[in-house]
């Protein structure tokens, strides 16, 4: 069982690094006027476990911080994940 947990941990770290990078790349694309990474793709990366990377990317690159609809969606995802984590801790620990 500990092997699965370690694999999950490594996967989450990789997903967060990827999500963080997506915010940085999207910021550069926005500055250059190029085709952007969709908001849906950024939010999907957060939904599947990259929420810490998304918040770190927003802070580091100052990207997507003023768009209220995006911020609200990210906060909802984070709240959902927090509830799921509490549920798992209570019922599976």
Domain span including residue 68: 2-92
CB contact set of 36 (below 8 Å; sequence gap of 6+):
26, 29, 30
Q: Contact at 8 Å (CB) between 30 and 63? A: yes
State how far the Cα of 38 lies from the Cα of 89, in Å rounded to an integer. Answer: 33
How much is the pTM? Answer: 0.91
Higher pLDDT, 2 or 10: 10
Residue 90 has pLDDT above 90, yes or no: yes
- Per-residue pLDDT tens for 38-53? 999 999 999 999 999 9
């Amino acid at each position: 069982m500990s092997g699965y947990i370690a694999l999950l941990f490594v996967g989450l770290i990789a997903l967060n690094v990827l999500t963080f990078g997506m915010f940085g790349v999207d910021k550069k694309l926005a500055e250059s006027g190029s085709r952007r990474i969709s908001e849906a793709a950024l939010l999907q990366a957060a939904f599947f476990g990259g929420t810490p990377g998304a918040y770190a990317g927003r802070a580091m690159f100052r990207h997507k911080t003023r768009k209220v609809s995006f911020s609200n969606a990210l906060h909802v995802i984070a709240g959902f994940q927090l509830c799921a984590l509490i549920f798992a801790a209570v019922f599976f620990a």
